[in-house]
Amino acid sequence: MTKNDTKSLFLQYINTFNVGLTKHKDEIVYKQILELGEKILGDKLISVEVHSEDASNPVDYFTIRLNAGTFDVVSHEQEESELVWKLKDTYLQHVVDNPHDYVEHPEKFEWDWLKSYLGM
């Protein structure tokens, strides 16, 4: 997968994630995650590492920020941050191929990285 393919895939993924967050933002569990995330993260950057098989060997990098309940892509490069979110390319593809399932059931998204950081 080329970096352009990864970029397109990640942008589609983050858009789906944001649609799911927006749709369910008033549900207690997501409201708590987002409010706590805004409080603890503030303007902190989040590094995203996209990998294929080996999580220690990323194929691409992005930097995002939580902003008003959704995630904004800051850059298509690795920037220094204390929080790293590792995503497998096949997971991204699965979400992009099945957006309705994830938007309707946001518990299917990978939340562990954020919940762990927030102490949940």
Q: What angle do CA 35, 60, 115 make, to 5 degrees?
A: 25
pLDDT at 4 over 60: no
Domain-wise residue ranges, the chain: 3-110
The pLDDT-based confidence of 82 (bands split at 50, 70, 90) is confident
> Cβ distance 102 to 20 under 8 Å?
yes
Where does the pLDDT of residue 53 fall: very low under 50, low under 70, confident under 90, or very high at 90 and above? confident
